[in-house]
Amino acid sequence: MAEIEPTLLEIIKDHAVGLVGAPTRETQIADLGIDSFSIVEIIYEVEEKLSVEVPFNANENPFGEMKTVGDLIDALTELIGK
Amino acid sequence: MTRNVVVTGMGVVSPIGADIKAYWDGLSSGKSGVIRREYTLGENLSLTLPTAPVDGLETRIANLGRELMRADRFSQLAILAADEAIENAGLEIDDETGGRTACIVGTGIGGQTTFDNGYHAMLLEGKRPHPLTILKIIINAPASHMSIRYGARGPAFAISSACATGAHSIGVCADLIRNGSADVGLAGASEAVLSYGSLACWKAMHILAGETCRPFSKNRNGLVIGEGAGVLVLEEEERARKRGANILARVAGFGMNADGKDMINPAVEGAAGALSLAMDGVTVNDPHSVYVNAHGTGTLMNDPTESKAIRSVFGAGADELIVSSTKSMHGHLLGAAGGIESIAAILALREGVVPPTINYDEPDPDCDLNYAPNKAVERKLDLAVSNSFAFGGLNAVVAFAKV
């Protein structure tokens, strides 16, 4: 299985049209400029590349209480560790 | 108070020209967009047949932006045509006018390439479906993309009536404007079904031409599937005049009905009925100045049926008017046919030139009208009519008058 952090950063980078430069753990999710299409695509790519099923319901805020890319990496690490 | 509807903009993507100027150059010079091409799916599925594709759009599609890059081709072609139509019309849609702007844009079949690739990946390769599949295939995708892209927040929906889709969309949009539901509208249709699975299904119907499309010619043997889109800007006449718009034509009539008989075979009464409804209230002083852009598919059944329908509506005038099937050049764009053929009709009206029916080399006694065989005909026109008669017996005819 691919490493979580670089894989997620790479996926996000491809969709972060609002961001100048590459995303890091400290990047705010709100600054990524991710549209509605990209959210479902990012989840799909995460599931494909990291062989994990993300328990995401499109009726909910996909990011919950998470604020930074680091929060996303931690949540994903926890999910995969389960 | 009667609200008249006029055409103030046009945009097209067709196999013989991917903008209005190139399209007219193709139409007036009798250009053929039909080529024999191989369509594949995966490594083992392949089909070679004559089709009318649109090539060389990669850069224009890449420039449409991120959201449309991820749309199915039928949406991309629709937006390319709509962008041109809006620019051509000099139309500015602001917050206030956006609420009175309609998007009535249909398709006959929808996101076929996405279906094909999705089923192949899912059923043959065991992959999961892409999460945007539904957003790509829904037939209202072009109407939705247009409403978002241009800020058009009036009535927006897709019409689907197979090969009559484009004509229905234009006619219904004109009616919405006439009835006061909107002041301006984008109306038309797109189609992009040149994929292995779709073409295999069309082939299974045994109605595709072996070599090319020969409408009204005795040696005709079927249709050639093409892709593309045609979009008009329709506008309430007073509004158009106030803003100094270039008025290209007036929507003089619209007729629609259903044969109520057969899923495949057309009926003279249905086609004639729709044509008659479109001509209701239209004064024809000189039938010599009337051009009918025929449905003219080049199938055994359609062409004599349509010829009889035209004769039954125009009577003796049928020998004076001029008919042509531009499908002989750009192929059958299915749902989009009525869109790009209405544009052909309006261009003919404005230019005083009737595009030819090419590949016409053998008169058929059952098709006994003047089909402008093989060469464009210069003629002063007052009225141009676009016929569309769909599988399933759904008919729509739009008439455009010179302004």
Taking only the tens place, the pLDDT of each residue in B323-368 is: 999 999 999 999 999 999 999 999 999 999 999 999 999 999 999 9
User: Does the beta carbon of A59 lie under 8 angstroms from any beta carbon of chain B?
Assistant: no
Same domain? For B9 and B65 the reply is: yes
The residue out of B181, B212, B242 marking a domain boundary is B242
Give the pLDDT band (50/70/90) at residue B286: very high
Same domain? For B210 and B327 the reply is: no
pTM value? 0.95
Share of chain B above pLDDT 90, in %: 98
pLDDT at residue B380 is higher than 60: yes
CB spacing of B128 vs A48 below 8 angstroms: yes
Tell me the per-residue pLDDT of B47-57, one tens digit each, with 9 for 90 and over.
Answer: 999 999 999 99
In a domain, B249, yes or no: no
The mean per-residue pLDDT over the stretch B241-270 comes to: 97
Q: Which residue of A has its CA nearest to B67?
A: A37
The pair of three-digit structure tokens given for residue B350, joined into one six-digit string:
């404005």
Q: What is the reported pLDDT for B203? A: 95
Same domain? For B21 and B98 the reply is: yes
CB spacing of B70 vs A37 below 8 angstroms: yes
Give the pLDDT band (50/70/90) at residue A1: low
In a domain, B360, yes or no: yes
Q: How many domains does chain B have?
A: 2
pLDDT at residue A59 is higher than 80: no
CA distance B152 to chain A (A): 20
pLDDT at residue A58 is higher than 90: no
Q: What is the reported pLDDT for A82? A: 67
The residue out of B185, B210, B242 marking a domain boundary is B242
Tell me the per-residue pLDDT of B126-162, one tens digit each, with 9 for 90 and over.
Answer: 999 899 999 999 999 999 999 999 999 999 999 999 9
Same domain? For B16 and B150 the reply is: yes
In a domain, B71, yes or no: yes
Chain B residues within an 8 Å CB radius of A44: 128, 130-131
Same domain? For B70 and B195 the reply is: yes
In a domain, B155, yes or no: yes
CB spacing of A44 vs B130 below 8 angstroms: yes
Q: Which of the two residues, A36 and B83, has the higher pLDDT score?
A: B83
Q: Assign residue B290 the CATH number of its domain.
A: 3.40.47.10
CA distance B142 to chain A (A): 16
Same domain? For B189 and B323 the reply is: no
The residue out of B242, B267, B294 marking a domain boundary is B242
Tell me the per-residue pLDDT of B172-207, one tens digit each, with 9 for 90 and over.
Answer: 999 999 999 999 999 999 999 999 999 999 999 999
CB spacing of A40 vs B132 below 8 angstroms: yes
User: CB–CB of A13/A23 below 8 Å?
Assistant: yes
CB spacing of B131 vs A17 below 8 angstroms: no
The mean per-residue pLDDT over the stretch B273-299 comes to: 97
CB spacing of B70 vs A44 below 8 angstroms: no
CB spacing of B132 vs A41 below 8 angstroms: yes
In a domain, B247, yes or no: no
Determine the distance from the C-alpha atom of residue B277 to the mean position of all C-alpha atoms in its chain, rounded to a whole number. 20
User: Does the beta carbon of B126 lie under 8 angstroms from any beta carbon of chain A?
Assistant: no
Chain B residues within an 8 Å CB radius of A58: none
Q: Which residue of B has its CA nearest to A47?
A: B128
Same domain? For B181 and B277 the reply is: no
Domains and CATH numbers, chain A: 4-81 (1.10.1200.10)
Share of chain B above pLDDT 70, in %: 100
Same domain? For B237 and B272 the reply is: no
User: Does the beta carbon of B138 lie under 8 angstroms from any beta carbon of chain A?
Assistant: no
Based on the residue annotation, tell me whether B120 is a catalytic residue of this protein.
Answer: no
Mean pLDDT computed over every residue of chain A: 88
Domain range spanning residue B49? 5-242
CA distance A20 to chain B (A): 16
The mean per-residue pLDDT over the stretch A9-36 comes to: 91
Chain A residues within an 8 Å CB radius of B68: none
Tell me the per-residue pLDDT of B102-112, one tens digit each, with 9 for 90 and over.
Answer: 999 999 999 99
Same domain? For B82 and B210 the reply is: yes
pLDDT at residue B5 is higher than 60: yes
In a domain, B355, yes or no: yes
A34, A10, A45: which is closest to B130 by C-alpha? A45
Q: Which of A44, A50, A56, A57 to mutate to test the interface with B (most CBs of B within 10 A)?
A: A44
In a domain, B248, yes or no: no
Other beta carbons within 10 Å of B93: 19
Mean pLDDT computed over every residue of chain B: 97
Q: Which residue of A has its CA nearest to B134?
A: A37
pLDDT at residue B2 is higher than 90: no
Give the pLDDT band (50/70/90) at residue A57: confident
